[in-house]
Structure 1
Amino acid sequence: MFKKLGRYILASVLTVSLLAACSGKSGVEPVNTESPKPQESTKPQESTKPQEPVEITIMHYNGVWSEEQTAQVFAEPIMKKYPNIKVKAIGFKGKPVDEELAELAVTGNLPDLIMTTAGLGFDTTIRQYKGEYDLSPLIQQYNYDLDQLDPAALQVVRNLSTNKELYSLPIYMSPNTLYYNKAIFEKFGVAFPKESMTWDDVYDLTKKLTRKENDVQYRGLMISGFHLMRLNQVSQKMFDSTGEKVAFDTPEYKNYLKDIFRIYDLPGYDMDQVGQGANLDLFLKDQTVAMLDAGMLLDEQALADLGDQWDFTSFPSLKDKAGVGYQPYPFVISMFNSSKHKEEAFQAMAYLTSAEFQTEATKQGKLLPVLKDKSIVASFGQDSAFYKGKNVGALLPKQFSPVPDEPSSEYTGIAQTELMNIFVSAVHGRMELNTAFREATERANKQIQEMKAAKGTQ
């Protein structure tokens, strides 16, 4: 099971929120590795070079985004803003996006820009192909204002580096909400979920909705394991102070999980009979799940079978942390160091993270903004009939859980995999939680030592 888990996690990330070496120097020596101070203007300065036509490519590393979506939402607005920049969209063509990226790497055609999750997505793209490029010189050159961005999302991006480089910019937020099926609530005579629920409230609601009728098993709630474990509301660090031993086996973290995992002890939650990653199908197709932590925006096509019988409600919080959701999990946009048009690519990045673009895309219901100005969230979907009457204010929490100040390292992937092993072992395998933590800790630390030993022999 564990050998297959890494691929499962990648698939989960690509569908949730549902998930040849190209080394070389960047070509621009950083003038300062410190992040620049906020500037007054958020608009990039125009380059003094002649505006010659160039072509750049942009890829969305997400298994549910088509090339047409990437072109419509991102490429076309860039070309409208900068007529001299032709933008070719690269997206999902029916095969796994990691395979598509691998083919591009083999032919030496890695994209100029790529949008990924800030965790596993970044690791399996930019980091895997040694494509890191520090944006700091371009941030200074174009007077880009980092202070316009949500500070929590920016911290996630900063944690991708260990030496204060800035490899990415946050481009949009993953939702931090629960979807719910009105029809199931009505079927069982249960009131729709209220705002500002605690996990105790959700547990009580789940008990009322989890039942078997006419040989059909209904469940009150399904949770994204990756988001629960990695973006937990207690801001658990993964490593100790050395960064070379995992340290996620803490009483606070385990008590947090026990409080949520009791849902899986309810009659009807035989998770060993439920396929891993089946949450979406159970909610959208089977329509046997009342509430869903999807971890991503579900578009009109995905929700078509539910008609208008769905809405959002706020994500549950801990009793002593009212209104505090998961840690932020932004998608980020990064530039491969192999790009031959770095200035134009950065202009595109700057525009896609500007208030101008973010406000318009938010109104259209295309994305959740990453800007510090939270008033923009209230306009989500106002230009889209699809979101008319929906509780869009519940898409993001009143406050995110803090992001641990813990830079990403070569061991981060090991720790993330073992967090998911804990979830699968405890929820699907019915393993006692303390045992799941102990075994995951032992496996992770053994793998880290093996990696260190292998480096020593190179």
Structure 2
Amino acid sequence: MNNRYSGKIRKVMTFALAASLTVGLLAGCSSAGKVKDSKEEKVLRIGMLYGSNDDSWFRQQYTDIYEFNNNVRIEIVPAVDQSEFRYRDYSNNEQYVEPDYFEGMKKLMTGNNPVDIIIADTGTLKRLAEENLLKPLDPMIQEDKFDTSDIVPVVIDTLKDIGGDNKLYGLSPTFSSSALFYNKKVFADAGIEPPTDGMTWDEVFDKARMVSKGEGKDRVFGFSFNRYLGSDPYWDMHSYVTPLELRVYDEKAELMTVNSPQWQKVWDTISKLAKDKTIPSSANMNMEEYYSEDNYSPINGDLFLSGKLAMMISDGYYINEIVEANNNADKIKNYSPVDWDIVTMPVHPEKPGIGSNIWIGNTFSINSAAPNAETAWDFIKFVNGEDFAKLRSRSNSYEMVSRKSFITPKAGQSYNIDAFYQLKPVPPASAAEEKLARDIPGLYNITNSGRPHFQEVLEDKKSVAEALKEWEEKGNKMLLELKKNPKAQFNEDGSVFEMH
């Protein structure tokens, strides 16, 4: 499973109750033949990248209904048992070593009792496909006439791209996406046309400058990378940088690559937006004005609901919060319901059709050495089929179902829901990049170390060119240290972190 989901999935309401109420809907839908009619119980083994003895969440989400309606017993096997970290001896101050999840999964797939199905993120799916460890699903899809035409392009096209040969090595019943939310009233009051689908980042920033107005706590910012007070532009610009696939250091982690025209354009763009107060930051906002007792409100920390943002980026789940606030408007001091809509995430002209903050959910694949490939395919059809999508679409979660027919506006609202599935996600990191990050964990500190230099730009202490040059020099020293000691960790100033 993708680690980026780890914080979100625990917030998703399990639908065990829904399952019990809708058995009639799903009974018999998973198998039209052999699996359902089999008198002999089949055992289906599912391999996951990580887990523990408590697999109740996954079972409630995916397997309970299938087992109830089929003579199949499902075993869930993690490549890495996370419970071991709880009992590890940390008293000797040994540095944590990231387990190799991929190698662990390969052992599950090639051992004496191989798993049938693999649940993984798109990066792992790509590596497994490249090593010919997965069965292509296309022949089974064609033989069973399994309909994939209703699966949104953001999912199906991304999965076809992963293997490099336009074949499907996995399917995913869900995805997570973001969009550009905008306040209709702010644009109407300014006499400016609101944003539209397919706009570039520069076009969005131009509109943001035109609608920014006011001072102090009355300031309305034209744009923000999120809805929160006290934003940090250095980290916020991740959404802007990620689709460009700019590197902080080279592929061998030997030399910094930030002192370049591309990075200079990024820093020039974002720092100017912050200094002009087009985007909020802790440097251009007085937190006390927002958090004073006189101004207290349950929506104070949300700039969009507070009417202080013309545009901002958020995911589909945020719609629930807007609806809740609007429904309780009479209970919130000085609050007027927000009139809003969404459009697609901005894109870069050099990376058309690629959006940030978009992820494919868990992918379901079949081990090329699966002992029970037929049952594995039957289960994959079930979790990616129409009936499952209909049931899953009722959950008010962070994820959306992959089938377009069941992606509908929430809570009776009317908005441009197509914006969530028009763009494709950034391609997954290469195996070499993942190995570098795992083998040299201190590389993350190099990314962190750029923040004080960007801060100096915001405070007009350094030019962008000077700041990037200094970051390059500091980063090169850190890379040199990592070459001598791959497990070294660093402070933000680039000095080696000493464990005591």
The separation in 2 between residues aligned to 1:420 and 1:12, in whole angstroms, is 22
Partner-residue secondary structure (3-state), 1:312? strand
Contact 2:44 2:116 in 1 (8 A): no
Q: Residue type matched to 2:268 in 1?
A: K
The separation in 1 between residues aligned to 2:483 and 2:271, in whole angstroms, is 31
Tell me, which stretches of 5 or more residues in structure 2 are unaligned? 12-30, 89-95, 119-133, 139-147, 149-154, 227-234, 292-298, 327-336, 366-371, 489-500
**Closer/same/farther in 2, CA of residues 183 and 360 from structure 1, 3 Å limit:** same
**Closer/same/farther in 2, CA of residues 411 and 404 from structure 1, 3 Å limit:** closer
1:317 Cα offset (Å) = 2.0
1:453 Cα offset (Å) = 7.0
1:54 Cα offset (Å) = 11
The separation in 2 between residues aligned to 1:151 and 1:79, in whole angstroms, is 29
Q: 1:243-322, aligned counterparts within 5 Å?
A: 245=255, 247=257, 249-267=259-277, 269=279, 271-273=281-283, 281-284=301-304, 286-294=306-314, 297-301=317-321, 303-306=323-326, 309-319=339-349, 321-322=351-352
TM-score by length of 2: 0.53
1:181 Cα offset (Å) = 2.8
The separation in 1 between residues aligned to 2:51 and 2:316, in whole angstroms, is 14
Residue in 2 that maps onto 1:182: 184
Aligned-residue CA RMSD in angstroms?
5.7
The separation in 1 between residues aligned to 2:103 and 2:43, in whole angstroms, is 26
Q: 1:28-177, aligned counterparts within 5 Å?
A: 50-51=41-42, 75-83=60-68, 105-106=85-86, 127=99, 132-134=104-106, 136=109, 145=136, 150=156, 152=158, 172-177=174-179
Residue in 2 that maps onto 1:201: 203
Residue in 2 that maps onto 1:409: 435
**Closer/same/farther in 2, CA of residues 60 and 309 from structure 1, 3 Å limit:** farther
1:253 Cα offset (Å) = 4.1
| Matched-pair identity in % | 12
Are 1:441 and 2:475 counterparts?
yes
Q: In the alignment, which of 214, 224, 235 is matched to residue 245 of structure 2?
A: 235
Partner-residue secondary structure (3-state), 1:177? strand
Q: Residue type matched to 1:392 in 2?
A: I
TM-score by length of 1: 0.57
**Closer/same/farther in 2, CA of residues 155 and 242 from structure 1, 3 Å limit:** farther
Deviations 1:331-371 (A, max 9, x none): 44799xxxxxx99xx89994686244774367547465686
Contact 2:241 2:266 in 1 (8 A): no
Contact 1:169 1:333 in 2 (8 A): yes
Partner-residue secondary structure (3-state), 2:220? strand
The separation in 2 between residues aligned to 1:347 and 1:227, in whole angstroms, is 41
The separation in 2 between residues aligned to 1:352 and 1:424, in whole angstroms, is 51
Partner-residue secondary structure (3-state), 1:393? helix
The separation in 1 between residues aligned to 2:473 and 2:243, in whole angstroms, is 23
The separation in 2 between residues aligned to 1:233 and 1:280, in whole angstroms, is 31
Deviations 1:312-338 (A, max 9, x none): 111112245554423854344799xxx
**Closer/same/farther in 2, CA of residues 260 and 353 from structure 1, 3 Å limit:** farther
1:447 Cα offset (Å) = 5.6
The separation in 1 between residues aligned to 2:435 and 2:385, in whole angstroms, is 32
Aligned residues between the structures:
365
1:297 Cα offset (Å) = 3.6
1:394 Cα offset (Å) = 0.9
Contact 2:304 2:310 in 1 (8 A): no
Contact 1:179 1:311 in 2 (8 A): yes
**Closer/same/farther in 2, CA of residues 86 and 132 from structure 1, 3 Å limit:** closer
Contact 2:48 2:105 in 1 (8 A): no
Q: In the alignment, which of 342, 347, 360 is matched to residue 330 of structure 1?
A: 360
Q: Residue type matched to 2:180 in 1?
A: L
The separation in 2 between residues aligned to 1:449 and 1:185, in whole angstroms, is 53
The separation in 1 between residues aligned to 2:270 and 2:6, in whole angstroms, is 21
**Closer/same/farther in 2, CA of residues 295 and 127 from structure 1, 3 Å limit:** farther
The separation in 1 between residues aligned to 2:74 and 2:477, in whole angstroms, is 48
Deviations 1:97-129 (A, max 9, x none): xxxx97784269xxxxxxxxxxxxxxx998488
Contact 1:157 1:332 in 2 (8 A): no
Contact 2:181 2:342 in 1 (8 A): yes
Partner-residue secondary structure (3-state), 2:198? coil
Q: Residue type matched to 1:394 in 2?
A: A
Contact 1:177 1:313 in 2 (8 A): yes
Contact 1:240 1:247 in 2 (8 A): yes
Question: Which protein has the larger Cα radius of gyration, Structure 1 or Structure 2?
Answer: 2
Are 1:360 and 2:378 counterparts?
no
The separation in 2 between residues aligned to 1:348 and 1:263, in whole angstroms, is 52
**Closer/same/farther in 2, CA of residues 440 and 210 from structure 1, 3 Å limit:** farther
Partner-residue secondary structure (3-state), 1:292? strand
1:131 Cα offset (Å) = 8.8
**Closer/same/farther in 2, CA of residues 205 and 400 from structure 1, 3 Å limit:** same
Residue in 1 that maps onto 2:14: none
Partner-residue secondary structure (3-state), 2:244? coil
Deviations 1:282-331 (A, max 9, x none): 33554422212235642514652255633211111224555442385434
Q: 1:208-223, aligned counterparts within 5 Å?
A: 208-212=210-214, 215-223=217-225
